[in-house]
Structure 1
Amino acid sequence: MSDIIGKASADGVTVEVGVGGRLRSVKLTPQAMRYGASYLARTVVDVATRATAKANQRYAQTLGRDARVSEALGLGYDPELASDDDFDRDWTRDDR
């Protein structure tokens, strides 16, 4: 489960999380820094939410048809947040 990641980007903010939303990285471009603290904070949270939905969706996919298990573990997701054009098939990583 720890090898599954979700990644999302918006407005110069890129967030990578593990299943359940464990933060792995946050990257900010100079563009992102121009928006101001309040907007930047909301953007980081929104992008992290999308990345978490992607990671949780991918975890549910590894379980096959029985997605009830991921729901029972509190790893549900909003399919609208999990889907977008930047889907990357290489969503597992071996950090060992």
Structure 2
Amino acid sequence: MSEIVGKASADGVTVEVGVGGRLRSVKLTPQAMRYGAAVLAQTVVKVAAQATARANQRYAQTLGRDAERVGQAIGLGYDPELAADDDFDRDWTRG
């Protein structure tokens, strides 16, 4: 099985994580650097939370009907609002 990932971007910051929030990559554009350290740090944390919600949602989808119960029990719950991914590449597995 391919690894499930979640990816999110905002304000020049792109974060990719595995299930549970294991960090895979952080990419910063010059735009992200313009706002200073405090704003950059807040943006990275916000984007990482969104990416984690997406990865956990995708994991839950693989579990089927018991997904919510099992996911919550093992600490892989997610906020559906954060998991919304209108702009995310639909191929969320990586080989």
Same fold (TM over 0.5): yes
1:23 maps to 23
Do the aligned residues in 1 keep the contact of 2:50 with 2:82 (CA within 8 Å)? yes
* Equivalent-residue separation in structure 2 for 1:76 and 1:2 (angstroms): 21
**Structure 2 matches for 1:81-92, cutoff 5 A?**
81-92=82-93
Considering fraction of residues, name the structure with more strand: 2
2:40 maps to 40
Cα RMSD after superposing both structures? 1.3
1:2 is displaced (CA, Å) by 7.0
* Equivalent-residue separation in structure 1 for 2:52 and 2:89 (angstroms): 14
Aligned length: 94
Query: SS of the residue aligned with 1:35?
Result: coil
Q: Please, what TM-score do these two structures have when normalized by structure 2?
A: 0.94
Query: SS of the residue aligned with 2:43?
Result: helix
Query: SS of the residue aligned with 2:77?
Result: coil
Instruction: Tell me which moved more, 78-87 or 14-23.
Output: 78-87
One-letter identity of the residue aligned with 1:4 = I
* Equivalent-residue separation in structure 1 for 2:32 and 2:86 (angstroms): 21
